[in-house]
Amino acid sequence: MCGIIGYTGSREAAPILLDGLKRLEYRGYDSAGMALVGAGMLSEIKEVGKVARLEAAFSAAAGIDGSAVCGIAHTRWATHGVPSAVNAHPHCDERYEFAIVHNGIVENHHELRAHLLKKGYHFRSETDSEVIVHLIAEAYEGDLLAATAAAVRQLSGTYGIAVVSSRHPGLIVAARKGSPLVIGLGEGENLIASDIAALLAHTRKVIYLNDGDIAAIRPDSIDLRDVSNVPVEREVAKIDWDAAAAEKGNYPHFMLKEIFEQPETVENAIRGRISLEMGNAILNGLELSPRDLAQISRIVIAGCGSSMHAGMVGEYYFEDIAGISTSVEQAAEFRYRNPIIEPNTLVIPISQSGETADTIAAVREAVGKGALVTALCNVVGSTIAREAGRGVYLHAGPEISVASTKAFSSQVAVLLLMALLLGRNRRLSRSEGCELAREIEQTPELIRSVLAQAEKIREIAKRYAGFDDFFYIGRGCLYPTALEGALKLKEISYVHAEGYHAAELKHGPIALLDERHPVLALANDIPGRDKILGNIQECRARRAPVAAVATVGDREVETLTDDVIFVPACSRFIAPLPTAVALQLFAYYIAVERGCEIDQPRNLAKSVTVE
């Protein structure tokens, strides 16, 4: 979704802002723009398309002060108004004294626009955001922070905004409600961004703004106020990601890099969290005593997309390993359908970014209903991590590719650790716990052995790259894995792919099967394999090409299917991990064959911060 970066200091702002925008490109956008404040003058430049176009336009532009040391910039993902230079941010007031960039949605923009039009303000764009800059101009009486506060008080909806003014060189005012903003603290310079990926090249010291916060950011100072304009102190967080982690290195795409990082990222997710001796997991972030754990009577998991699929794998874990009744909710449903939450219900919101609007709302609903809430997030200090109050971080490092890969595997690994902990707290014996703990420890190695077959998977993918409709089928923990595999394929290759429980095929979808509808069957040697073999036969009888994921050495699957990707032998609990990695590679190579733009698929955004 939209991205914000702002800089104030002593260096030229434009290169820093353009570099920041490039680091935000992964979020998905359709236009970009920048406003600079130098020598008492405000100038802006905006372009449709990639940041590279904005950069070229900036190099060629006259009348824009390239030596300015303060500015704000934005990548826009169109919601209100088509992608165009006029609709791109920043938006300026009529006299070019103020410029704003905005993430989020101003829900009452129609009323505000009508009010401003009546007062004689003129609008240039079709956006909801433009009202903000006119409201600031209207409220301005010499104090930019006060004017911004007055403007945002009139907004309903969500916003993360940054404001500059020709009347206040060196000052950026930022305000947040519902759309993340983080201040990057430098030496004699400070930055503001919607996402820490844009800050990593400059600093690891950050302050996350809370909803309602407003900040005056100058090169040497940060003045922070809360919603009631009372000065507040916010904790300075240290980010342990480095800038290289957010770069592609020698990989052609972030997605491939992140797929290949998984042995390490899963290792990071489990490191220090397993006791082989006790056959247990150690998850201090949960902040739940054995007594608290014993009282949990139900688990509700909430998430969206891949995070929800990880949650669906977790459902099998919690019920099978710990014997706790578990359900998984699409986070938007959780928010609107008045879920039943009892005092001993544990709600687990899962979110890589920690900023997904529907999952944030689910957290608020759960906290408000008095549930125990413990979040699984990758981004330290993100809204969900903070609002849940307790949780377990994934430690997967920045995930830049829009299609989630390493976050998914880390989520599954952490859910397995949680199930082990809850299982040991209840019905799992020490020796059963030890066996599971040993298996979990070996997961990175299993993933490595799938990665070693990347070339073979690529060859198989090439044979399937011409098809336009796929079915993915699985059973048990491999059912949500099938959903995840299908999601990967559709989002990056624009191929229609549906995941089904293998048993569900006969209840309708099988009507579609013919030689144009390949089926990807997850036929690993775990309980349910024999039934999947039956399903494979049914598909073949309808002339559907069948590719399978199977356990290494399974000749029966090999003879029954057209192609097989072999994964190492492992238990049903571990199987989703190597299998998901194989499916990620399969989707990736199909997208490569089809010439798709892999890291930033059309229409998609990395973090969905609006409903």
β-pairing, 298-303 with 280-281?
Answer: unpaired
Q: Which range, of 30-38, 55-63, 262-270, 305-313, touches ligand F6R by CB under 6 A?
A: 305-313
Residue 587: how many CB atoms within 10 A of its CB? 31
Of the candidates 103, 280, 306, 493, which one interacts with ligand F6R according to CB under 6 A? 306
Minimum distance, C-beta of residue 26 to ligand F6R, in the bound complex (Å): 11
CB of 483 to ligand F6R, least distance (A): 11
Q: Which is nearer to ligand F6R, 360 or 420 (CB)?
A: 360
- Which residue in the set 262, 352, 524, 535 belongs to the binding site for ligand F6R (CB under 6 A)? 352
To ligand F6R, the closest distance from the beta carbon of 518 in angstroms equals 21
The answer to whether 404 contacts ligand F6R (rule: CB under 6 A) is: yes
Using CB under 6 A, which of the segments 83-91, 339-347, 348-356, 517-525 binds ligand F6R? Answer: 348-356
Question: Under the criterion CB under 6 A, does residue 351 sit at the interface with ligand F6R?
Answer: yes
Give the C-alpha separation, 505 to 191, whole Å.
53
Q: Chain-centre distance of CA 249, in angstroms?
A: 21
127 binds ligand F6R (CB under 6 A): no
Q: Candidates 67-75, 111-119, 211-219, 303-311: pick the segment binding ligand F6R (CB under 6 A).
A: 303-311
Write the DSSP symbol of residue 369.
Answer: T
Listed ranges 66-74, 349-357, 440-448, 588-596: which one lies at the site for ligand F6R (CB under 6 A): 349-357
Residue 488 CB, shortest distance to ligand F6R, in Å, is 6
165: left (phi over 0), alpha (psi -120 to 50) or beta: beta
Q: Which two tokens stand for residue 169?
A: 């060189």
Q: Does 356 bind ligand F6R (CB under 6 A)?
A: yes
Draw the binding track, 578-607, toward ligand F6R (x: CB under 6 A; -: no contact).
Answer: -----------------------------x
- By CB under 6 A, tell whether 353 contacts ligand F6R: yes
- Is 403 an interacting residue with respect to ligand F6R (CB under 6 A)? yes
Residue 46: alpha-carbon gap to chain centroid: 27
383 touches ligand F6R (CB under 6 A): no
Q: Report, in Å, the least distance between residue 352 CB and ligand F6R.
A: 3
* 438 versus 602: smaller Cβ distance to ligand F6R: 602
- DSSP E strands: which ranges in 210-310? 214-218, 221-225, 237-238, 274-275, 280-281, 298-303
**Nearest residue to 578 via CA among 266, 305, 251, 273:** 266
Q: Which is nearer to ligand F6R, 279 or 485 (CB)?
A: 485
Nearby residues of 120 by Cβ (< 8 Å), 6 or more positions away:
none
Nearer to ligand F6R, 345 or 353 (CB): 353
In total, the chain counts a number of residues equal to: 611
Q: What is the dihedral of CA 113, 119, 122, 125, to 10 degrees?
A: -10
Q: Shortest distance, CB of residue 359 to ligand F6R, whole angstroms? A: 5
| Residue 307 within binding range of ligand F6R, rule CB under 6 A | yes
Among 279, 305, 485, 499, binds ligand F6R (CB under 6 A): 305
Q: What are phi and psi of 331, to 5 degrees?
A: -60, -30
Residue 564, strand partner residues? 548
102 burial via Cβ count (<10 Å: 0-12, 13-18, 19+): buried
> What is the three-class DSSP state of 250?
coil
Residues 490-509 within binding reach of ligand F6R (CB under 6 A): 491
Question: Would you tell me how many other CB atoms lie within 10 Å of the CB of residue 432?
Answer: 15
Residues 181-210 as x/- pattern, contact with ligand F6R by CB under 6 A = ------------------------------
Q: Which residue is nearest to ligand F6R (CB)?
A: 305
Question: From CA 42, how far away is CA 129, in angstroms rounded?
Answer: 19
Q: Tell me which stretch binds ligand F6R (CB under 6 A): 184-192, 337-345, 353-361, 461-469.
A: 353-361
- Catalytic site positions: 2, 606
Q: How far is CA 297 from CA 293, 319, 458, 506, in A?
A: 9, 11, 45, 35
Closest-CA residue to 610 (of 160, 120, 137): 160
- Of positions 18, 21, 106, 304, contacts ligand F6R by CB under 6 A: 304
DSSP state of 266: H
Q: Which amino acid would we find at residue 284?
A: N
Only segment of 97-105, 203-211, 345-353, 530-538 that touches ligand F6R (CB under 6 A): 345-353
- The b/e string for 503-533 (b: 16+ C-beta within 10 A; e otherwise) is eebeeeebeebeeebbbbbbbbbbebbeebb
Q: Which of 313, 549, 608, 610 binds ligand F6R (CB under 6 A)?
A: 608
Residues of the shown chain interacting with ligand F6R in the complex, contacts defined by CB under 6 A: 304-307, 351-353, 356, 359, 403-404, 487, 491, 607-608
